[in-house]
Amino acid sequence: MTTDPLAALRDSYLSAQLAGNRREALRLLVEEGVLRGIPVPSLHLDVIQPAQQEIGRLWQENHISVAQEHLATAISQLALSYLYRHLPRDPANGRTVLLSCVEGELHELGARMASDFLEMAGFEVRFLGANVPTEHLVREVRESKPDLLALSVTMSYHVPALRKAVAAVRELAPGLPMAVGGLAFTWAPGLEAELGVPFYGKDARALVAAACKMFEV
């Protein structure tokens, strides 16, 4: 039995996910989390993110089915929506971030979490979600003129799509700062340097720290 309250909450949340119990998962986050003073960002990074990683391990090792993984992930999607209205927000800092998964990339929960963190820090966020075709990403950059473009990649086989997106956006807007991140970077250390994108973060908190430093906000 763990005595770490966050680890205990993560275990209970994971159990609720595996049981497919949406009401219990939300109750835990609110009653055992928010109302007990656990900061919302900690619920994201210390409860939901590691629970999702554990779901991935259980799926990979064949302990749970694809259907159970989908059930669990749908609960985390619901949890993010629910927590969205509890996000503590800094005053608007006047900067807009466009955040998108690259073409083909279906893992969007992490990018969504990163969007919520940027909003907490006062950024205006345009979150495009999963699988955005490169030409439409470029069009959106042209039309919405963000201050920062953040691209998310999970699968290594989507790194070519990332390269394509970075090159296409550079052609259109050579001065636009870009950030890259997502699980693929844990399997390709140094990729950000190779892409010439110095702006990288291993999780949502690191992305926000780097963005705030760059814009001095």
Residues contributing to the site for ligand B12 (CB under 6 A): 45, 49, 52-53, 55-57, 59-60, 69, 73, 104-111, 113-114, 150-152, 154-156, 179-183, 200-201, 203-204, 207
State the nearest-atom distance from the C-beta of 1 to ligand B12, in Å. Answer: 25
Nearer to ligand B12, 3 or 39 (CB): 39
Nearer to ligand B12, 110 or 177 (CB): 110
Which structure tokens are listed for 3? 């005595």
State the nearest-atom distance from the C-beta of 179 to ligand B12, in Å. Answer: 4
State the nearest-atom distance from the C-beta of 26 to ligand B12, in Å. Answer: 17
Nearer to ligand B12, 55 or 195 (CB): 55
Which structure tokens are listed for 143? 């039309």
H or E segment to which residue 186 belongs: helix 184-187
By C-alpha distance, which of 30, 36, 38, 37 is closest to 13?
30
Torsion angle, CA of 180/183/184/188, rounded to 10 degrees? Answer: 90
State the nearest-atom distance from the C-beta of 3 to ligand B12, in Å. Answer: 25
Q: Are 182 and 154 in contact (CB under 8 A)?
A: yes
Residue 67 CB partners (closer than 8 Å, separation 6+): none
H or E segment to which residue 211 belongs: helix 204-215
Nearer to ligand B12, 3 or 46 (CB): 46
Nearer to ligand B12, 1 or 97 (CB): 97
State the nearest-atom distance from the C-beta of 185 to ligand B12, in Å. Answer: 8
Q: Helix (H, G, I), strand (E, B), or coil: what is residue 149?
A: strand
Nearer to ligand B12, 28 or 105 (CB): 105
State the nearest-atom distance from the C-beta of 24 to ligand B12, in Å. Answer: 19
Query: What is the rounded CA–CA span in Å between residue 137 and residue 160?
Result: 15
Query: What is the rounded CA–CA span in Å between residue 81 and residue 57?
Result: 24
